[in-house]
Amino acid sequence: MRKINEIFVGRVALHTEILALRQQVAVLKRKRSRPTLRMRAPFLGAWMNFVLTFFAYDVMKAMMISTFGADGILTSPFWFAAEGAVVGLVIGCVATRFSGEGKETVGR
């Protein structure tokens, strides 16, 4: 039984490596380059969360203290601005990756 498991795991690893190599070859053969990452999406996400924190500071402060405790490092509600920047970066990368950027999106 142990031999069968070792053979199966070895074949799965081999197939995984083959798939990874095929992906690398496909990326190298790609004719169009990847779009450059712009910093407007993280900035917009951070700004929106900052404005939300600014107007709802008391409610968010109470929520952060109840969640992380009074002595925790994350008690400041302004951590939401950093979280907004990270989420904005992820959303910007995904949107640019799947839809493109600039003139290449016109006429699709």
pLDDT higher than threshold 70 for residue 3? no
Q: What is the mean pLDDT of residues 11-39?
A: 73
Distance of CA 20 to the CA centre of its chain: 21
Pick the most confident of 22-26, 28-32, 100-104.
Answer: 22-26
pLDDT higher than threshold 60 for residue 35? no
Residue pLDDT, tens place only, 77-104: 888 888 889 998 888 888 877 776 666 6
Angle between helices 57-68 and 40-55 (to 10 degrees): 100
Let me know: does 46 contact 81? Beta carbons within 8 Å: yes
Q: Where are the domains of the chain?
A: 1-31, 35-108
Residue pLDDT, tens place only, 6-23: 655 666 777 788 888 888
